[in-house]
Structure 1
Amino acid sequence: MPQPKRWLDSYPAEVPPTYDYPSMNLARLLVDSADRYPSHPAVEFLGTRYTYAELRDAAYRFANALRAHGVAKGDRVAIMLPNCPAAVIAYYGTLLTGAVVVQTNPLYKPQELKHQLGDSGAKAIVTLDQLVPRVEAIREYTLLERMIVTSVAEQLPWPKSWLYPLKLKRSKQFVKVNWTETVTPWKTFLASAPASPILEPVDAVEDVAVLQYTGGTTGVAKGVMLTHFNMTANTYQNKLWFHKCREGQEKFLAALPLFHVFGLTVLMNQAALTAGELILLPRFEAETVLKTIHKRRPTVFPGAPTMYIALINHPRIKEYDLTSISACVSGSASLPVEVQERFEELSGARLIEGYGMTEASPVTHANPIWGKRKIGRVGIPFPDTEARIVDSETGEELPAGEIGEVAVRGPQVMKGYWNRPEETAKVLRDGWLFTGDMGTMDEEGFFAIVDRKKDMIIASGYNVYPREIEEVLYEHPAVKEAVAVGMPDKYRGETVKAYIVLKEGASVNGPALEAYCREHLAAYKVPRYFEFREELPKTMIGKVLRRALIEEEQAKAAAGREAASGAASGADEGSAEGCPPPPPPKA
């Protein structure tokens, strides 16, 4: 028997448990705000500014140009750009035609592009001049008919627009593009079409708005089909949660990349819905973010934990006024308690942890921003969102307090995976999305994420959840960042290894950290090995690539087995089971 929605008792009075979400083309978010606030600032990028009317008209031009070049409803258009005005214009312009946006990471290498562009069947791509060689390298393997090329320089105000190309030439990063009939300059493309209104009718529940690829950290990246209704509903859910939002007055600091679904929903779509100003930064740099907050006075700053970690550890953070910020939502990874408390102390803002995944547009849970919250938990389900803790195999709902897989259901849950019905069937069961994340729910309906099912370490038969270890390590005064992984062990099956980045000027060694962990963790959870690094591998959003570290350990183990086999047999080939792990590094 389903358990009651006990989390509703913790809803702020201003947040309704259910809402009538509009069924519409997602681009209406921009069009409607432009109709209400035509002269209001919409986008600011390093000194370049667009009003809502200017942004809407540019999106109309882009949409009409796409149509003139044969892009029709349902066709896929890839956007491979950092945060910049062109990324916003191309996004809404594509949606206006009824075509599908394929968000592509500008850091992708040709092999990754080959998979994503080939799998999606994208007909056109919008990208930077510096990235053209990567696209050209794999174009023959795709269905691309047109490349629309912009540059950072042409989106900057004078004199930055003149100085930027000189900087690229000096650093030997300048790329000369060979313009052809199918490779078109951005400005030429926009100028070729009128700004006449265009808004393709859609079946919001069925028609895909965004094909968002998963990170591929657990296998081949899959295209997540997010419909116009999925994206619209999640944008409204975020607005309902941010119940103190002042329409036409908020300023959203976009340090998160817009090509990531978190930035897409909580920044670009949210700003458009509320007629807010979107302050774009092309990448996250702690000092740039601090200067921007001090000067531009943003009020909303969603981010990843690593962003807040970098800010609170910046040596001159007290020189900057952060008090304009009222609300921050942290996602993509667990938020250490000490980071949350320190950032709130420095800014006066409310920093809350949320939870979601690409397959849910992405947000499903969050702590109330102004209301009851629980430190160390990802909060409670959004309006119209149900969540359960279930047995991964049977799907049976588990009692409060037990660890199981998190399953969610709501209007933001994806339609499925692009051209992968079998993969879809594995995670979508009777409308419930099985997230692959292990968690718990307490008696009041607050959820905690223990770890991804695939990241769980099994040591001597015990389940070890990396997040629990990392939380303890983050509490050590010398630790800036920490990640725990499982590494092969002849006796225990797996054992725990921790990768550590120290705070500037701090000093601690492996034995000291091990002793510290023994004070706070059961013996089988304590890391046996520590590796100290200057930095950890991360995605562009700042999420630690745990899988990359695991693969490193697997490669080391494989090399160790090969070496052991060669030493034993005198041969160049062979294998030996049970190669012992390497000794811990000297501290």
Structure 2
Amino acid sequence: MTEKIWLKNYPPDIPARLAYEEIPLQEYLTRAAEKSPTKIAIHFLGKELTYQELYESSLKFANYLRKIGIEKGDRVAVMLPNCPQNVISYFGILYAGGIVVQTNPLYTEREIEYQLKDSGAKAIVSLDILYPRIMKVWKETDLENIIITAVKDYLPFPKNMLYPFIQKRDTGFTVSVQHSGSNHLFAEIIKIGELNPVELDFDFTEDVALLQYTGGTTGFPKGVMLTHQNLASNVQMCRAWMTETVPGEEIIMGVLPFFHVYGMTTVLLLTVMNGDRMVLMPKFNAKDTLKTIQKQKPTLFPGAPTLYIGLLNHPELTKFDLSSIKACISGSAPLPVEVQEKFEHITGGKLVEGYGLTESSPVTHANFIWGGKRVKGSIGVPWPDTDAMIFKMGTTEAAEIREVGEIAVKGPQVMKGYWNRPEDTEMTLIDGWLLTGDIGYMDEEGYFYVVDRKKDIIIAGGFNIYPREVEEVLYEHEAVQECVVLGVPDPYRGKTVKAFIVLKDGYKATEEELNKYCRAKLASFKVPRIYEFRSELPKTAVGKILRRTLLDEEKTQVTQ
């Protein structure tokens, strides 16, 4: 398996190897502003920023950070939805020599405290409505400065005037923060900030640009150290993969939150590196997204399966024109084949499944969008400069073709390691290979398949059951909108298979009906023994189903 047999499938216009410029990420913004200063970089709810405005705002922010004591290597947390302030903060921190720590604005006080303490962040950029939450954990962290902004700061008139009233209606309160002491107002920084270039030396290979925390869907989140090289190389791989796009002319839909590494790489960084336009939405709402697609006409729409499922199941879907979409790469969770086919039919564009993880910046595999063979049910083949193999379970020995084992990857996008966790780093990075924790196999042509997460395998009555296989069958049922399959305690089999089901609006299905359906398509030991119907499933902000939450619920029921 040391031979990259997948390369024979590459179409002529995708190179197996790329040449990388050894420049820090922020230099791409500098170049975009020099080349196309008046070009629109960001569209946000009617407000637009040019590349020159984005560059100058980021530089002002960088100078202010230096003024309040941020030095090279210091961590600065960004706890914002997708908005212009997020992009400005991101590049401003990099210009200042800092390390970005993306933080989910939906986090509870406990989760905020954990991430701030673990990262040692000296400053945080956040929304005004989150200020009280930060203040409750402030003394337990290393925070020295809080930079506050509001969504209205980058809304056009009259939305900016109406927003405070809407905010009070929705949240029940408003927050007023003064620009003094350790509290700083983002709007004031942009008004008074200086445009002096920050002169710093950068090590492209070694300097960490981003601390991106793992999702914590299966355990404690870990800070993944991603260098300028890791991120820049992955974005350039993405650009090489999208053979029919034209740098500088694409419009990229930014619904995936930037605090998720996939949205950050494929929207924020790809847009700036190419000089494209990003259309940002602060949160996913199916109807608002459909309206925005029709009006702004994005050509690229990176997403997660739950986003596409949400759009496809909206009752007014057929009223909207989605034909501007040329390509979507779905990540963060398995893409059901039914969803892929329906979305392509509706838009006329391409929707392919990709694969990656936070530790690889994140993408390592994808199906070909144009010009190459697509294999349904497969995560595709490794990207340029990326090696991959299957390790026999519990070893670092190469598995045979179609033998199921652990997926391992190697390439310039693979992380430097885990922040302050040398033991975890040693267990995950072995001779340059990143052990993904995902179980899969490779076929004779070099296409890879994910069978399941190593931690998610259900061992029932001595049989190995892969939840993804069962979920794929359930997704084929016309009434099933979403599902997740887990192993729950069973006194006889050790574990038994339980399916959590969300039905489509207007559809009905019984446990007996689903049981009969599954028995016609699965070996009897794989068929769910228990079905639970729900109106929704717990998810992360990016739409990944929280298996751990459901498992915790099951454990609680067992102990009661």
TM range (shorter): over 0.9
The equivalent of 1:163 in structure 2 is: 162
The equivalent of 2:236 in structure 1 is 236
| Conservation of the 8 A alpha-carbon contact between 2:497 and 2:526 | yes
User: What does 1:36-435 align with in structure 2 at a 5 Å threshold?
Assistant: 36-179=35-178, 180-198=180-198, 200-370=200-370, 371-435=372-436
Partner residue, 1:578: none
Q: Aligned partners of 2:177, 2:37: CA distance in 1, in Å? A: 37
Task: Find the counterpart in structure 2 of residue 496 from structure 1.
Answer: 497
Paired residue type of 1:166: F
User: 2:335 & 2:199 partners in 1: Cα distance?
Assistant: 40
Q: Is this contact kept in 1: 2:218–2:547, CA < 8 A?
A: no
Deviations 1:319-363 (A, max 9, x none): 111110101000000000010000000000100000000000000
Q: Counterpart of 1:152 in structure 2: which amino acid?
A: V
Match of 1:452 in 2: 453
Report the alpha carbon displacement of residue 509 of structure 1 after superposing the two structures with TM. 0.3
How far apart, CA to CA, are the structure 1 residues paired with 2:171 and 2:273?
41
Q: Contact conserved, 1:437 with 1:449, CA < 8 A, in 2?
A: yes
Match of 2:442 in 1: 441
Please tell me whether the aligned partners of residues 165 and 174 of structure 1 are also in contact (alpha carbons under 8 angstroms): no
User: Deviations along 1:134-161, whole A, 9 cap, x unmatched?
Assistant: 1101011111110000001111010000
User: What is the distance in 2 between the residues matched to 1:148 and 1:357?
Assistant: 30
* Structure 2 contact 177–185 (Cα < 8 Å) conserved: no
Superposed CA deviations along residues 33-64 of structure 1, whole A, max 9, x for unmatched, are 11111111100100110011110111010001
Structure 1 residue 199: Cα displacement = 5.5
* AA at the equivalent of 1:410: G
Q: CA deviation at 1:315?
A: 1.1
- Amino acid paired to 1:215: G
CA distance in 2, matches of 1:341, 1:545: 25
State the SS of the aligned residue for 2:399: coil
CA separation in 2, counterparts of 1:172 and 1:287? 22
Alignment match, 2:508: 507
In the TM superposition, residue 393 of structure 1 has moved relative to its aligned partner by: 1.8
Q: Are 1:548 and 2:555 counterparts?
A: no
Q: Distance in 2 between matches of 1:73 and 1:400?
A: 47
Q: Write the letter of the residue equivalent to 1:428.
A: L
Question: Quick one: distance in 2 between partners of 1:463 and 1:86?
Answer: 47
Matched residues in 2 for 1:464 and 1:221: separation?
26
Answer yes or no: is the 8 Å Cα contact 1:378–1:447 preserved in 2: yes
Shift of 1:230: 0.3
Contact kept? 1:83, 1:283, Cα under 8 Å: yes
Query: 1:413 and 1:26 mapped to 2: Cα distance?
Result: 16
* SS of residue paired to 2:517: helix
Aligned alpha-carbon RMSD (Å): 1.0
Q: Which amino acid aligns with 1:90?
A: S
**Identical aligned residues as a percent:** 52
Q: Secondary structure at the match of 1:171?
A: helix
Code of the residue aligned with 1:71 in structure 2: it is I
Secondary structure of the structure 1 residue equivalent to 2:397: coil
**SS of alignment partner, residue 495 of structure 1:** strand
SS in 2 for 1:7: helix
**Residue aligning to 1:572:** none
For 1:18, the equivalent position in structure 2 comes to 17
* Partners of 2:164 and 2:174 within 8 A in 1: no
Alpha-carbon deviation of 1:215?
A: 1.4
Amino acid at match of 2:262: F
Whether the aligned pair in 2 keeps the contact of 1:153 and 1:165 (CA below 8 Å) is yes
State the partner residue of 1:571: none
Deviations 1:231-283 (CA, angstroms, capped at 9, x unpaired): 00001010000122212110000010011100010110000111110100000
Alpha-carbon distance change, 138 to 323 in structure 1, aligned in 2, over 3 angstroms:
same
TM value normalised by structure 1 = 0.94
- Structure-2 separation of matches of 1:473 and 1:442: 25
2:532 equivalent in structure 1: 531
Q: Cα deviation per residue 1:451-499 (whole Å; 9 max; x = unaligned)?
A: 1100110011111111000000000011111110010001101000000
Which amino acid in structure 2 is aligned with residue 499 of structure 1? F
SS in 2 for 1:77: strand
Residue equivalent to 1:474: 475
C-alpha contact (below 8 Å) 2:389/2:398 kept by paired residues: yes
Is the 2:40–2:49 Cα contact (8 Å) retained in structure 1?
A: yes
- Tell me, yes or no, if the aligned pair for 1:25 and 1:96 is still in contact at 8 Å: no
Larger Rg: 1
The one-character-per-residue Cα deviations of 1:160-183 (angstroms, maximum 9, x if unpaired) are: 000010112233433323424101
What corresponds to 1:484 in structure 2? 485
Match of 2:559 in 1: 558
CA distance in structure 2 between the aligned counterparts of 1:13 and 1:436, rounded to whole angstroms: 32
Change (3 A) 1:196 1:480: same
Distance 1:347 1:102 in 2: 35
Matched residues in 2 for 1:121 and 1:333: separation? 30
Alignment deviations for residues 399-439 of structure 1 (CA, whole Å, 9 cap, x no partner): 11011000000000000000000000000000000000001
Q: Helix, strand or coil: the match of 1:426?
A: helix
Provide structure 1 residue ranges, at least 5 long, that are not aligned to the other structure. Answer: 560-587
Could you tell me which amino acid in structure 1 is paired with residue 39 of structure 2?
A: H
**Distance in 1 (alpha carbons) for counterparts of 2:276 and 2:4:** 33
Assess if the C-alpha contact under 8 Å between 2:364 and 2:382 holds in 1: yes
In structure 2, how many angstroms separate the alpha carbons of the residues matched to 1:422 and 1:303?
33
Shift of 1:122: 0.3
Which amino acid in structure 1 is aligned with residue 524 of structure 2?
A: A
Deviation of the 1:201 alpha carbon: 2.6
Q: Which moved more, 1:222-231 or 1:2-11?
A: 2-11
Is contact 2:360–2:414 with CA below 8 Å preserved after alignment? yes
Distance in structure 1 (CA, Å) of the matches to 2:15 and 2:233: 14
Aligned equivalents of 1:215, 1:447: Cα separation in 2: 23
Checking the alignment, whether the CA contact within 8 Å between 1:38 and 1:51 is kept in structure 2 is yes
Matched letter for residue 265 of structure 2: T
Q: Distance in 1 between matches of 2:80 and 2:170?
A: 20
Q: CA deviation at 1:198?
A: 3.0
The answer to whether the 8 Å contact 2:437/2:453 transfers is yes
Whether the 8 Å contact between 2:359 and 2:414 is mirrored in structure 1 is yes
Equivalent-residue separation in structure 2 for 1:549 and 1:162 (angstroms): 42
Aligned partners of 1:40 and 1:248 also within 8 Å: no
